[in-house]
Structure 1
Amino acid sequence: MELTTDTITAPDGTRIAVHRMGAGRPVLMLHGLFSSAEINWIKFGHAKQLADAGFECIMPDWRVHGDSDAPTDPALYTPGVLVRDALHIVETLGLEDFDLVGFSLGARTATSAVIAGLRPRKLVLAGMGIEGLTNWEKRSAFFVDMIDRFDEIERGDPAFLAKSFMKTQGIDRVAARLLMTQGVEDIGEDQLGALDMPVLILIGDEDRDNGSPERLRDALPDATIAVVPGTHMSSVTKPDMGRALVDFLS
């Protein structure tokens, strides 16, 4: 299945890489923190499963991630910057009738984008519980501390796995810290009623990194849960995630 990559330039000049696979109903797929479209969607076959089922996968790399720019100017990280990037991609590509999938940070951003007015037919929030949406300051503090202690962290430290993943992905620490401390906004539980389309909460059976998926389901007007094998990190490596996406979106 052919994979193509284009670049979309955000209004602030940041270049965003957008990878595409398949032809058919568009599904915009937003990856998680320190990851990329390659790691979240392409490498382990989820995009191919969707493409084979008749979807066009549109998979941006967030600023600071993958093949996109990682600017270190603090002025380019105002609250909601990822949401604005997502909305700009939708507008630039002329997406109207489409589905939306997000994993972890991508699920937070998808939620904020819907609150901001994006109207996908169906929405998937993967690797997400309610606390991951409504308590960003607590969740991000772990990663900010990891960046600040980066050179001191050794095996056995609770932050060692996150440090290793970030290092493997070649993430710029200055840009990542700006994104987490300035660029991501909190979501109020009272705002979740805006997610009134069918929502799938897709969660690993060992994943509670972002809190309770059951509480998130109960806070949404029309949500169901699908459980796949794995932790927050390993669930994306298994074909079950792709199958669950195809089942829900088809």
Structure 2
Amino acid sequence: MTTERFTSFDGIELALHRVGEGRPLVLLHGLFSSAQMNWIKWGHDRAIAELGYEVLMLDFRVHGDSASPRAPEAYPPNVLVRDVAALVGHLGLGDYDLGGFSLGARTSLHGVASGALAPQRLIVGGMGTAGLGEWQKRAAHFKRVIDEFDTIARGDPAYFSVQFLKSQGVDRVAARLLLDTMPDLDLAQLANVAMPVLVVCGDEDCDNGSAEELAALLPDATYVEVPGTHMGSVTKPDLGRAMAEWLGPAQSAARRL
């Protein structure tokens, strides 16, 4: 495992964690989480790297080891898609696969649907139709968590989110700015996602709506259920195994631009 930093499109420094050698797979973590929390801690990165992949795990801005700028100008619309595109350009990737969980899945689909990202294959974890087409409703929950952070009591449905933000050391000023950069996705745009897609979701995960419905809207999708809730499924080895089995052994080295 190595960690390095690169400069994104606007000069913000972002962290990149690498493991393995071979075909590039870019992995994107969930909201207010990190590469460490979603991929590294539970061994999902190693399960995939063992099949001949170089697993490239970005920490989004405001997350993990990346910068958390507080200036409003650091948060243009769809800034996370632009950060991922900057990473692909920085690494010179011409032939790569892409995967994400929750916010990472949402960012991936936005990027592919808009043409900003062009992976050969895509993995969408912990995401359903509501998390795309009705994101503003989901975002309102997290805005409340931030705005009422010190007054949300145990027993409130938002209490767990408060504790998670505390555990991850999230800068709440920067996080509040980031939430306003994420538009809803017109589900008709999913027709643009033409590459093979794995939609994988916990069997008790309804946080972002129906993952099965999402798979049905994609032109070439495979739907797989794994055990767990939204937060629980990412902690179980089943998620990494499902991703690794769908990807299979890497067949070719990447073409560099």
1:103 to 77, 101, 104: 101
Please name the residue that 1:160 is paired with: 159
Please name the residue that 2:183 is paired with: 185
**Farther-moved stretch of structure 1 (107-116 vs 85-94):** 107-116
TM-score norm. by structure 1 comes to 0.97
The answer as to whether partners of 1:217 and 1:224 remain within 8 angstroms in 2 is yes
- Write the deviation string for residues 105-157 of structure 1: whole angstroms up to 9, x where unpaired: 00010001112322211111100001101111111000001111100012111
The answer as to whether partners of 1:36 and 1:62 remain within 8 angstroms in 2 is yes
Using the TM superposition, give the Cα deviation of residue 19 of structure 1 relative to its aligned residue in structure 2, in angstroms.
0.4
Please name the residue that 1:5 is paired with: 3
Matches within 5 A, 1:63-212: 63-117=61-115, 118-181=117-180, 183-212=181-210
Q: Percent identity?
A: 55
Letter in 1 for 2:164: F
Provide the secondary structure at the position in 1 that maps to 2:234.
helix
Provide the secondary structure at the position in 2 that maps to 1:155.
coil
Q: How many angstroms apart in 1 are the aligned matches of 2:191 and 2:45?
A: 29
- Write the deviation string for residues 82-116 of structure 1: whole angstroms up to 9, x where unpaired: 00000000011011111110100000100011123
Runs of 4+ in structure 1 displaced over 2 angstroms? Answer: none
Structure 1 gap ranges (5+)? none
Using the TM superposition, give the Cα deviation of residue 34 of structure 1 relative to its aligned residue in structure 2, in angstroms.
0.6
The answer as to whether partners of 1:202 and 1:225 remain within 8 angstroms in 2 is yes
Structure 2 gap ranges (5+)? 249-257
Matches within 5 A, 1:226-237: 226-237=224-235
Using the TM superposition, give the Cα deviation of residue 63 of structure 1 relative to its aligned residue in structure 2, in angstroms.
0.2
Q: How many angstroms apart in 2 are the aligned matches of 1:161 and 1:99?
A: 33
Q: How many angstroms apart in 2 are the aligned matches of 1:83 and 1:11?
A: 11
Q: How many angstroms apart in 2 are the aligned matches of 1:235 and 1:7?
A: 29
Letter in 1 for 2:65: D
- Aligned residues: CA RMSD: 0.8
Q: How many angstroms apart in 2 are the aligned matches of 1:72 and 1:105?
A: 20
Using the TM superposition, give the Cα deviation of residue 11 of structure 1 relative to its aligned residue in structure 2, in angstroms.
2.3
TM-score norm. by structure 2 comes to 0.95
